[in-house]
Every structure is written in C-alpha cells, then in structure tokens.
Structure 1
Amino acid sequence: MGYSNQFFKAINVEPSSSAEIKSAARATSISVAQLKYYNEKNIIPSGKDLESIGENLGITELELMINMGRINHAVLDAMQSNSNKIIEILQNDYNEVKNNLAIGTSKLVFETRLGKLFEGDCLKVMSQIESDSVDLVFADPPFNLSKLYPSKMDDNIKVENYLSWSEKWIAECIRILKPGGAFFTWNLPLWNSKLTGYLHTRLSFRHWIATDIKYSLPIKNKLYPSHYSLLYFIKGEKPNTFNSDRMPMQTCPKCYGEVKDYGGYKHKMNPKGVSLTDVWQDISPVRHAKYKKREGSNELSIKLLDRVIEMSTNEGDIVFDPFGGSGTTYAVAELKNRKWIGAELGPCDIIIDRLQQLDEEKEYFESIRSNINCLFPQKIKMEREKRGIWTYESEQKRKNDISD
C-alpha cells in the first residue's frame, strides 16, 4: 500500500532508479530517505526543501501540487477563474471516467418481505436504484489492510486508487439518497480523515463519532489506537429524521452509585436518560461465538446498527448498505421493520443463513432496547433502591414531599 510514485514523477525522477534518486538528493541537498518519504506519503515538501527543489530542479510548488494531486484553495481559485478553458480540455476525459463505474453483473439472491439482497459489485447494484429514493445509507467498506475476504477482492491497492474508488461508491450513495437522508460510513480514522474533504463538497456534516473499540495491540512510538470513526452527514440542510436514543446514567458495577455527581440537579434529570454524545464507549467487539458470523473478520455489533438506524429512520423507511459483510445492517433492519437493499460482492451464504435464523438474535436485540431510554435499567434501579440510593422516582417523591 502507498502512492504510485507521484512525487518522483513530479520531479522527473525514475522511481526504480537508485542513481536518479541519489542524483536528485545531491542536487537538492535533501536526503534520499526524505525524498522517499515525500514519495511514499505523497506529501508536498515545505520550507527549505521546497525552496531547494524550485531552485535546483526548476519545479514550482504549483507544478508539484497539480502533478501530485494535492490541490489547495489557491489553485482552486485559479481554476475557477479559468473554468471555461479547463472544462473544455477535461470534459471528454471526465465523462469517460464517470460513466465507467460499474463492473461485472449483479443478481438478486435473496428476498424478504422487507428487503432484497444482491450479489455483485455495489456500483452495479446502485446503478439500478432510483435517484433520491433511499432514507439511510450505512457503509462499512474494506479498510485496504490486506485482509482476505471470501470474495477474493484485492484489499491492498495504491492509496490514490482506494480513495478514487471510495469517491465513486460514495457519489453513487449520495445520488440515491433522499434529500434530508442520512449517510454514515464506518472506517479507520486515517481513511475517514481523507474522505471528509470529498464529503464536505456534497453533503452537510453532522458528526464525527468516535467509537471506543480496542481491536489492535499498542504500537511503539504511537498512541494506542482505540477508536473507529463513524462519519455522519446528511443530504441537504436538515435531517428528515433524528431520533437519538438516550443513554442510562453510568453507575459503578459494584456499589451501583453514579460515576458522575449530578449534585442538586438530580430532580431535573430526564427520566429517559442522558443525551447521547459523539463518543460511544459502549459498543463492544463481536467476539462471542453465538453472535459472530464470519471467522477471521471483525464484525459490526447489532447495538451499533440499532443506534444508527433508530437515529436516522422511521419504520418503513429504506436502508441501503453497499458492503453486506456478515449482514448486520440487514438483520437489524428486519428486526426494526425497515425496508432494506443490500449488496455483497460475494458469496452471500452467511448473510442468507443469518436472515433465515433471526429468532436467534431477536432476544439479544430486545435486551439492548430494554436497557436504553431510561435513567437506570431495571436491574440497576432495583439495586439502587435496595441501598437507599436515589432514583428518578425517589427524587420526584422527595420533591413532592417538600412542596407539600
């Protein structure tokens, strides 16, 4: 994984030639290691390095930015001032690239009263979906981490190819999304930080949600990576639906006392719980064999999809997930009485088996719903009452006694 030698090509150096790289290093007084860093990360040099490249190689910052695909607002302003000339030059190439989206075929492999599952490339599937017709798009794409998927797709491609492909499927998701519809995409912070620039040009930002999940081990000389990024955008100015769940107050698992002291404001607490924040610490990895559907792959939890679908849709709305995986989105959509459309490159056996045996997961789903939208779940409420610790009801009774 990496970029396709755009920096070396921009400074007219053959990437495979050690001699040419060393020659450029001598000419610019920039170390070979630093030149390779700029090339590997596709980063525009700055400071004295940029000055030296200009003076000794005769290559300007503008040339670097254009040839490396690192356009800033100054370049965009210049392009807009000359838009007619640029459009005339680029229009044919742009149309050819844009129209060459879908590859292969797709076929309907499973259908329920609420949803349809297609096996095939998501771009092909989306090309058959009407514009402005979907209420929610939730996407959990491959992370380009060299994982082996059942579909045998290449999960280790050049960075610019991964980002270009991402922009293609995102553009199609936006096309089929209704005005006011919600778009969520789950990915590593690295990739989502790169994709936000594109999303900001087409959708309205709502939240960057950090989900605290520790899958990996600590990395030397780095902070311990412990969260996934869930981007939340909408199509248009306002969401059609926003039904955010409320969370129970955090309590100690031993003494059942509240973790945060609300002091004299207890009587003002909302009986349905505290407001959901943009940091989610209660989404656990799917590790239990009873709920894990795919060996060797991380899966999204039912709790995560329940929260997203509850927040952004109502019963009967249409949910689309372009990367089926183990089918969590479709399973939760079924349990929550939402219509859905799904795509999976293949094979789809795991998803179909799961959807045919939803009764096994219904109890777990219902237990999740029973422990939210209340200040204290029933078990914790009973334990607090046993210990004489306040509950919403006891605070209301105390308040009424005082007023009497």
Structure 2
Amino acid sequence: MGYSDQFFKALGIRADGGGNLEKFAKQSGVSAKRLKYYNENNLVPTGGDLNKIIATANISELLLRLKMGRFDKDIIEAIQNNSEVIFPIIEEHAKTIEPHANSCTLAFETKLGKLYKGDCFDLLKIMDSDSVDLVFADPPFNLSKLYPSEINDNIRIEKYIYWCQEWIKECARVLKPGGAIFLWNLPKWNVALTSCLEGMLTFRHWIAVDIKYSLPIQNRLYPSHYSLLYYIKGDKPNTFHPDRLAMDVCPKCYGDIKDYGGYKDKMNPTGVNICDIWTDIAPVRHAKYKRRKGSNELSLKLLDRIIEMASDEGDLVFDPFGGSGTTYMAAELKGRRWVGCEIGPCDVIQDRFSLIKEEQKILEGYRSTINSLFPEKTRLERVKRGLWTCESVKKKKQPNE
C-alpha cells in the first residue's frame, strides 16, 4: 500500500475517470507514469521535473513540501522560529483527534509477569512514566499479512509511520533514564522511524540480524536481514553486558576458519566480542521450537541475547506486541519481571507457558555454546586433534615469560 494522494492533492490533480492527470502531464512535459510514481511514493520531484511541475501548477516548492508533509531544514527552521505563532493552530488540531477507547484487560499472569489483552495504547496509558528498564517491540510490518487479531495490515504508508511514532513516543515515556529500547522491523520502516527516535532517545546501534526466510525478489538484492534498532534514554545505559561468542571453527574437523597467527595467546578465553551483524540467529521453522502456526515468530535465542545485554534480574521488560510470547518467555526464564499485551487471541501465549520446562532446556542449550572461546565439546575435539586451545597456548607461553 502506498501513500495517500498527497502529491496529487497538492497540485490539484485527479487521476480518476474524467480527471486531469493526462492534461497536466501534457502541459508540464512530465509523463503521467512519472507523476503517478511521485504520488504513490509521496516524493518531492527534483531537477527538471520539479521546475516543470511547479511552473504548471503555479505553486512554490515550499508550499508543495508543506502540503506533502516533506519538510527540509528550511521549513523546520521556520517552524522553530515561529513556534509560538504556530502552536495555537497545532494545539487546536490536537483537540480534534479522537482518543482510544480503553478496552485492555488482564489475560493471565505468572510469578513475574502480566499479559493484557487489548490495544497497546490502552496499556501504555495506565503505565507510569520512567518505570520500564527494557522495551522490545516487534510490530506488524504492514505487509498485508493475516493475523489472528484480524488487524488491518495494509494501511497507507504515512498512517503506518504515524501509528508507529505514537506508540514509540509512549514507550519512550515509560522507559527509565538509562533504559533501552530495541525496535525490530524491516530496514525500510526502521529508516523512516529513526527521526522519531532521534528526537527523544540516544542511538546506540543498528544491528543487522541475518535471517533468510524466502526466495529472492526479482530486480532487487536478496533481502536477508532484519533491522534491530537499539536506543537508550539518556547519555549512557544503566546495563550493558553483551554475551561473547565462541570462535568459528570447522564443524567437521574443528580446525580454525580464521588464521589468528601469533595472536592466539591474546584471544579472550570467554569468547569473541559480539558485533552489530548477527549471523547466528536462525529462523524458527522446526515444529519443536515453533509455538504459533501459520506465522513467523522470533527465536528465543534472539530475545535471550537482548535481555541479557540490556537488563538485570528483577528489571522490568515491556513488549507491546505479544505475538507468540517469545519476549515474555525469555524474561520469565531469565528472572526479569515483564508486562505486555496482545490485541489478538492470548491463548497461544498462555499455552506456551505450560511448556516452560521445554523452553528452559532450549535456552540452556543456547547458553551452553556462548561466553567461552571454545565450548566444552569443541575444546575436547580440538584437544583430541592436537589443535590449540586457550590452555595449551597459555602453557606453551609460560616457560618464556
């Protein structure tokens, strides 16, 4: 779904039957196809097209940008310099916005957490400011998917972005100073949402999570990663202790994949620093791990890593889009308090907690392979093959120290 007809409306163009699109295209010398492209993507033309269009419509570039909602630095500066004049107009407009009807109810609770059924806005309205240590949000992607909640996942682009901005603003409000927010989405949407985040929070990382779900798209690079934005409230995080990863070795011979040369003795026995490109988070496909039929869901490994990195035991974790409940399960298993909501059926999440012992084993399996340069199985196989380990390098170096 593209943008609303903001470009056409600004120029007085009608594209319906009997409209004046073809006439405008002929007068301006800009093809109807290109005019439709600018309209569908709400793009301000540049170069020769811009000059032709504003001359034909008898409109300035400034007024065109204002009507399209595409503000450049000059417009932003003018708004800032005239804020007291503009404020009453904006305040009056805000009064016309209809409030959300509050229909959020407690669906179930555990020893550490509470899940509410309803719209996340309703839950956020009753949450205290500066009360949450960590926010993780995985909203619908506006890709026309069918959800059990039957929400409209195919709305105009500007409406989707405005909707995201509203709940992001509320999440920033409830976040404690020093707290962290992680926003999971397609790169296309996260690019559009950074301006909203930058106005309230402090950027830490754009994490690319390499997850391949489907076939390549024709005439485009193969989209293989999701964007995970990491922001904090304030100038430094209250908590930051990322996991360290095992060194990559050959899965068959357990030999080095990368040649560390004479730096083996400098390798940290607790593992390799994690970077901002994560290639070890596999999509959840196997029935053993999947909790929700017919929909993608996030790996427990992903949420384990995020929660470990940006929170401590006893901290409060908030996820406004429950989905299959991965965030809540990870928080429960890791001793974090949690709160969340789901606008659709909550039975999938509640049923998942009946499998908490199985989830615990899965989590333990993940964590047994990290925070060690060579996990135990790898270390034993390397010793058997006469390959170096942290212990052998240290022992070899001792006589020369």
If the TM-score is normalised by the length of the shorter chain, which range does it land in? over 0.9
Q: Is the 8 A contact 2:216 2:222 kept in 1?
A: yes
Q: Which residue of 1 aligns with 2:191?
A: 193
Query: Residue type of the partner of 1:50?
Result: L
Aligned length: 401
1:35 alignment counterpart: 35
Tell me, in whole angstroms, the C-alpha distance in 2 between the residues paired with 1:365 and 1:90: 49
CA-CA distance at 1:88 after TM superposition? 2.1
Deviations 1:11-31 (A, max 9, x none): 111232464110110111000
Q: Which residue of 1 aligns with 2:302?
A: 304
Q: Is the 8 A contact 2:13 2:19 kept in 1?
A: no
Do 1:5 and 1:15's aligned partners in 2 also have CA atoms closer than 8 Å? no
* Identical counterparts, % of pairs: 57
Q: Which of the numbers 260, 263, 273 marks the counterpart of 2:261?
A: 263
Alignment of 1:161-176 (within 5 A): 161-176=159-174
Instruction: Indicate how the Cα distance of structure 1 residues 37 and 370 shifts in structure 2: closer, same or farther if over 3 A, else same.
Output: same
Amino acid corresponding to residue 41 of structure 1 in structure 2: N
For structure 1, which segment, 307-316 or 65-74, has the greater mean C-alpha deviation from structure 2 after superposition? 65-74
Asked if the contact 1:213/1:228 (under 8 Å) is kept, the reply is yes
CA distance in 1, matches of 2:264, 2:83: 60
Q: Deviations over 1:148-177 (max 9, x none)?
A: 111111111010110111011111111110
Judge conservation of contact 1:335–1:362 (CA < 8 Å) in 2. Answer: yes
Partner of 1:350: 348
The residue aligned with 1:90 is 90
What is the CA-CA distance between 1:252 and the residue it aligns to? 1.1
TM-align CA RMSD: 1.1
Q: What whole-Å deviation, never above 9, does each CA across 1:275-322 have from its counterpart, x for those lacking one? A: 000000000000110110111111000000000000000000000000
CA contact (8 A) 1:102 1:127 kept: no
Letter of the structure 2 residue corresponding to residue 31 of structure 1: S
Give a deviation string over 1:179-234, Cα, whole Å, max 9, x none.
11000010001100110111111110000000000112111111000000000000
Query: Which amino acid is the alignment partner of residue 156 of structure 1?
Result: N
1:396 alignment partner in structure 2: 394
Question: In 2, are the aligned partners of 1:101 and 1:123 still within 8 Å (CA)?
Answer: no
Answer with 261-270 or 272-281: which moved more: 261-270
Aligned letter for 1:147? Answer: K
List alignment gaps of at least 5 residues for structure 2: none
Which ranges of 4 or more aligned residues in structure 1 deviate by more than 4 Å? Answer: none
Check conservation: 2:14, 2:20, Cα contact below 8 A: yes
1:58 aligned partner = 58
- Aligned AA for 2:164? S
1:104 Cα deviation from its structure 2 partner: 4.3
1:215 to 205, 213, 216: 213
Deviations 1:3-62 (A, max 9, x none): 111100011112324641101101110001000000001100000010111222211111
Compute the displacement of 1:235 (Å): 0.7
Are the aligned partners of 1:118 and 1:343 in contact in 2 as well (CA < 8 Å)?
yes
Match of 1:71 in 2: 71
From the superposition, tell whether residues 104 and 151 of structure 1 become closer, same or farther in structure 2 (CA, over 3 Å): farther
Q: The residue matched to 1:152 in structure 2 has which SS?
A: coil
Q: TM-score, normalised by structure 2?
A: 0.98
Distance 1:141 1:102 in 2: 18
User: Displacement of 1:357 after TM fit?
Assistant: 2.0
Partners of 2:44 and 2:114 lie apart in 1 by 46
- Deviation string, structure 1 residues 357-394 (Cα, Å, up to 9, x no partner): 20111111001111100001111111111111111111
SS at match of 1:173: helix
Aligned residues of 1:205 and 1:233 also touching (Cα < 8 A): yes
Mapped to 2, the partners of 1:151 and 1:134 lie a distance apart of 26
1:28–1:309 Cα change, 3 Å = same
Cα distance in 2, alignment partners of residues 75 and 92 from structure 1: 21
SS where residue 4 of structure 2 aligns?
A: coil
* CA gap 1:18/1:303 in 2 versus in 1, 3 angstroms: farther
Cα pair distance change 1:395/1:101, threshold 3 Å: farther
Secondary structure of the 1:292 match is coil
